[in-house]
Structure 1
């Protein structure tokens, strides 16, 4: 005979697992395309925003670093509920004056990756996404964001 408490425990565990799967963070709701390649470690991920609403998340900026090569890599991925009808762009800067940009009015899912060597230097990232949210197609929106000078070393 099956123990009822054991069945309850299994049922509760199943509900918790299903809830955890459904309640995923905003960054998991981005298109997972475009990568930096092997050997890169995520340093920071931050959402873009509008002037009227901070951190709305039409896009997520990802900054990676490879300790083997000393290079940083940046990618902008859009949220699946945002239509980037007017494009996307990302710029990676190093405090020694170097910069790398990837942007186009034709980009719809991601911009980047952009790479720069930055061992011993600080980096910053800026990005933009233009378009509209699926539920408000009549309201054009520009989201911008960035990562301030940081990740020095």
Structure 2
């Protein structure tokens, strides 16, 4: 009888250890290390960013080889899907791209050709949005707005 109890205790401990290891592994992999280059592509360099409150950051990146800008909104704490958005707009040409939906870690990437042009861009997470107008150009002053709806 004593052997049966010890075997049962060892079996229960082993099951608990395996379950804890699995739970910890799931938790660690549930929050991937998302970067602007991971979302937009390794050739894209971050040229600007804007905090979306404490919820995350919107990144403006640029690839000098193809003249394209990319924008991605990345959450600080990935998890349950939340409403998110990312957009980029070139006022001089009217070119634009946007993405919105319920996402667990990031919105985007959105791309637009913008070499030699001012860029307007932004994004949102839940009820906090940020927009940056006339960014990354010498002739106009950048204007940032963060709103909570």
Q: TM-score range by the shorter chain?
A: 0.5 to 0.7
Residues in 1 aligned to 2:98 and 2:80: alpha-carbon distance in whole angstroms? 18
Equivalence for 2:111? 115
**1:144 partnered with 2:135:** no
List runs of 5+ in structure 1 lacking aligned partners: 1-29, 49-55, 131-141
Which deviations, in whole Å up to 9, do the C-alpha atoms of 1:10-63 show, x marking residues without a partner? xxxxxxxxxxxxxxxxxxxx9515521132111012101xxxxxxx22120011
Aligned residue number for residue 85 of structure 2: 89
TM-align CA RMSD: 2.3
Q: TM-score normalized by structure 2?
A: 0.62
User: Between Structure 1 and Structure 2, whose CA radius of gyration is higher?
Assistant: 2
Q: Which has the higher contact order (CA 8 A, sep 6+)?
A: 1
**1:72 positional shift:** 0.3
Give the paired residue count. 105
Structure (1 or 2) with the greater helix fraction: 2
The correspondence of residues 2-151 of structure 1 with structure 2, limited to 5 A, is 31-32=33-34, 34-48=38-52, 56-80=53-77, 85-95=81-91, 96-104=93-101, 106-130=102-126, 142-151=127-136
In the superposition, the TM-score normalised over structure 1's length comes to 0.61
